[in-house]
Structure 1
Amino acid sequence: MRGIDRQELLFHTLHNQYLLEKGRRLDVVSGLCGLQAQFANNPRYALRIRARDFSEEAWSGGLLKIWSHRSTIHVIREDELGLFLSAKGHNLAWGESWWDIPVKVKPYWAAFIREKVAGGIDEREALKRECRRAGMEEGLLKQVFHGWGGLIKEMADRGLIAYRPGTEKRFFLPEEPAWMERDEARLVLMRRYFERFGPATEADCAAFTGYGMAEVRRLLRRGCLSLRSVDRGGVPHFYVGRLHAARSLPGCIYLSGFDQMVMGYKDRSRFMDMEDKSFAVNRAGIVYPGILLYGRLCARWKKEPGRLSITPFRPLSPASRELATEGGRALFGDERLEIAFLEPCRP
């Protein structure tokens, strides 16, 4: 097993993450195992950064939003709904859940909600009004539309309903998922992981998928993923395909909030100095949109109409500030965009 240095590891990672060469929009979503979407604009930014066929008007075409791996909201391809739901391994029969919704009423209200969505009532608040009008008690209404999921999540996990991507909370009825055996689906996603996030460790894969180390190792023993490996600090890092010859890195790369580049690894040292972790991820686990300068995560950003605010982790040189400025204007295609550098997190 040959060794790999940080520069080569980082170059290969950025290349596979579509950050050095852009890909087709649907290929990006598929290759990165979806795009995390707790904040609705993050997938849009991730595709603006990575997709050569991105457009503001059509970026969400062919996509939907569900609870996916790690039970977090992701935007995925509509035609891969069965893959992602199968990988979760949910029982399709209604059962007990921690939402405290009586099992006997779930089929009725699920059918009622689907009927209303099919009839064009697709907004969350409008559906709540319809349920209340139909006699749903306030306590049950709160649980059905619980902020962390409720009956809506249980319906989504069964392929009965899905969110549309974007900032509005709208639902639609997806096509019947093409169900797979759970291990088969997980192996498909794990192969994509090592192809697009590799070289990565078993622990990285477990952290990203949420499957757990024992599960990852069991699936790797079972599957024929054609993995190769390199050594990094005495730890094997696995990948699918080939390693790209390392070249010089771009001076500036923008990342979205909850970017798959950041979410993809337990050990983020390939692109982040660990003393800066609290500047990139807050105590509530919110992962800020970030900026890589010379291959290191050095700042976070926030976009507002006509303005881009940049908060460096520590003071930036004039050359670095210019790189971040040019990168932001290029990303948003606006030479007149106001760039504001805020006080560094650390003097």
Structure 2
Amino acid sequence: MRAQRLSRPAADVDELLGSVFALQAQDVPAARLAARARGVRFLDGPVVRTWAMRGTLHLLHERDLWVVPLLAPVFIAAGRRRRSQLGLTDELCARALPALREVLTGPLDRATAVARLAEVGIPLDPRSQAPAHLLAYAAYSGVLKRGLDDTYELLHIDCEPRDVTELWRRYRRAYGPATPDDFAAWSGLPKRGLRDLPPVDDEAFGEVDGVSGPAGGAAGCAGAAGPTGVVRMLGHFDPYLLGYRDRSAMLDPAHARLVQTGGGFLTPHVVVDGRVVATWRRVGGRIEVHPFGPRPDVAEEVADLGRFLDVDAALTWV
């Protein structure tokens, strides 16, 4: 929990992303909940929302945008068949990149971007999935990003190239101890290319781009020495569990189906000292908590959630 900033809150989003590397962000409210659980109330500053690990939208620090061109070949290749089915040939996609640089003169929503593309000779059916796939392709090509308000803007990547070893090091800093299989599940990279990853000292203290902290990750802190009684209420798609293929160190397999409901979706859950002990949901002003065993002491977290969500939160056990 330490490296995930769940027991050692971050001072700001800069420090947070220096530790956890990225927050999954296809659902912006869920990303905000993930930041809240780690001490950060506002997602301002040098933060970029774009496609990264697992072909999914993430929040990244602008200094870590090197990961986009690193992952791009894998996910561009993986999406080629679907793009072809949608009429997005390689030739059309290649023409679309300079066209997007021309039309994205400021933040545009998807419908406006599609209309502007049609004006410059890139027609897309706005009722199909073609616009979404083309825009994701352009993001992996380093042309654009997607804002927290779901508008699209041009992206400028000004980072020195890094290799998969650096991504492995950053991953282990946030999630270690962890295995190459876990890394493959988190990153979306094929396992065949991860056979020669170097060893990483998970207990070492290090510094990443000016942010120092321990490398011990989520699994390593479940039951390990450190703060006790740490309770956090985590939302959908929280990175705490998403970092692993095998989550049994944090989530009892007997309760896994209550949390992992399929399609990469995670039910909001309560973590106490590294272990998932309950699920929760918000119903209006009520926070309903379903414990797997003894009731965890969530009163402070419920109160903080209420302040964060600007509701008069009332705890209900179900």
TM-score (norm 1): 0.74
- Secondary structure, in 3 states, of the residue corresponding to 1:282? strand
- Secondary structure, in 3 states, of the residue corresponding to 1:74? strand
- Secondary structure, in 3 states, of the residue corresponding to 1:253? strand
1:74 aligned residue: 58
- Cα distance, 1:78–1:303 mapped onto 2, change above 3 Å: farther
1:205 aligned residue: 183
- Secondary structure, in 3 states, of the residue corresponding to 1:333? helix
1:326 aligned residue: 300
2:208 aligned residue: none
1:254 aligned residue: 233
Tell me if structure 2 keeps the 8 A contact 1:110–1:151: no
- Cα distance, 1:109–1:192 mapped onto 2, change above 3 Å: closer
Matched, 1:215 2:193: yes
Deviation of the 1:273 alpha carbon: 1.0
Q: Which runs of 5+ in 1 are unaligned?
A: 1-13, 230-238
Deviation of the 1:225 alpha carbon: 4.4
1:19 aligned residue: 6
- CA root-mean-square deviation: 3.4
Which among 97, 110, 113 is matched to residue 124 of structure 1? 110
Tell me if structure 1 keeps the 8 A contact 2:114–2:124: no
Which among 79, 88, 97 is matched to residue 110 of structure 1? 97
- Secondary structure, in 3 states, of the residue corresponding to 2:298? helix
Deviation of the 1:266 alpha carbon: 1.9
Quote the Cα distance in structure 2 between the aligned partners of 1:195 and 1:38. 23
Tell me if structure 1 keeps the 8 A contact 2:21–2:171: yes
Which among 6, 9, 17 is matched to residue 29 of structure 1? 17
Deviation of the 1:288 alpha carbon: 1.9
Deviation of the 1:141 alpha carbon: 7.5
1:190 aligned residue: 168
Tell me if structure 2 keeps the 8 A contact 1:325–1:339: no
Matched, 1:338 2:313: yes
TM-score (norm 2): 0.80
Tell me if structure 2 keeps the 8 A contact 1:290–1:300: yes
Q: Deviations over 1:243-294 (max 9, x none)?
A: 8871352252222321111111222222211111111111333112211245
- Secondary structure, in 3 states, of the residue corresponding to 1:299? strand
Quote the Cα distance in structure 2 between the aligned partners of 1:225 and 1:129. 49
Which among 250, 259, 262 is matched to residue 283 of structure 1? 262
Which among 60, 84, 90 is matched to residue 67 of structure 2? 84
Structure 2 counterparts to residues 138-217 of structure 1, below 5 A: 138-139=124-125, 142-146=128-132, 150-164=133-147, 166=148, 168-178=149-159, 180=161, 184-217=162-195
Percent identity at matched positions? 21
Deviation of the 1:21 alpha carbon: 0.9
Q: Deviations over 1:96-139 (max 9, x none)?
A: 92212133333433323322222x35111221233345565454
Tell me if structure 1 keeps the 8 A contact 2:92–2:122: no
- Cα distance, 1:134–1:340 mapped onto 2, change above 3 Å: farther
**Which residue identity does 2:151 align to in structure 1?**
R
Aligned residues: 299
Quote the Cα distance in structure 1 between the aligned partners of 2:167 and 2:72. 13
Structure 2 counterparts to residues 292-307 of structure 1, below 5 A: 292-293=271-272, 295-303=274-282, 307=285
**Which residue identity does 2:54 align to in structure 1?**
R
- Cα distance, 1:42–1:202 mapped onto 2, change above 3 Å: same
Deviation of the 1:185 alpha carbon: 2.4
| Structure of greater Rg | 1
Q: Which runs of 5+ in 2 are unaligned?
A: 205-213
**Which residue identity does 2:157 align to in structure 1?**
E
- Cα distance, 1:113–1:342 mapped onto 2, change above 3 Å: farther
Tell me if structure 2 keeps the 8 A contact 1:249–1:295: no
